[in-house]
Amino acid sequence: MDSPLIVVNFKTYSQGTGEAAVKIAAACRDVAAEAGVTIGVAPQLCDIYRVASQVDVPVYAQHVDGVSPGSNTGHVMASCVQQAGAVGCLINHSERRLNLADIEASVSAARAEGLTTIVCTNNIPTTAAAAALAPEYVAVEPPELIGTGVPVSQADPDVVKGSVEAVKRINPDVQVLCGAGISRGEDLTAAMDLGSVGVLLASGIVKAEDPRSALEDLVSPL
The residues assigned a catalytic role are: 93, 141
Q: Is residue 16 a known part of a binding site?
A: no
Q: What's CA 150's distance to the chain center, in Å?
A: 18
Q: Do 117 and 88 touch, CB atoms closer than 8 A? A: yes
Q: Is residue 203 a known part of a binding site?
A: yes
What is d(CA 21, CA 28) in angstroms, rounded to the nearest whole number? 11
What is d(CA 185, CA 191) in angstroms, rounded to the nearest whole number? 10
Q: Is residue 190 a known part of a binding site?
A: no
Contacting residues for 95 by C-beta, under 8 A, at least 6 apart: 11
What is d(CA 204, CA 23) in angstroms, rounded to the nearest whole number? 16
Q: Is residue 23 a known part of a binding site?
A: no
Q: Is residue 181 a known part of a binding site?
A: yes
Q: Is residue 168 a known part of a binding site?
A: no
- Rg, C-alpha atoms of the chain: 16
Q: Is residue 9 a known part of a binding site?
A: yes
Helix (H) or strand (E) holding 201: strand 198-201
Least Cα distance to 90 among 153, 138, 58 occurs for 138
β partners of residue 90: 118
Residues marked as binding?
A: 9-11, 146, 181, 202-203
Annotated binding site for substrate: 9-11, 146, 181, 202-203
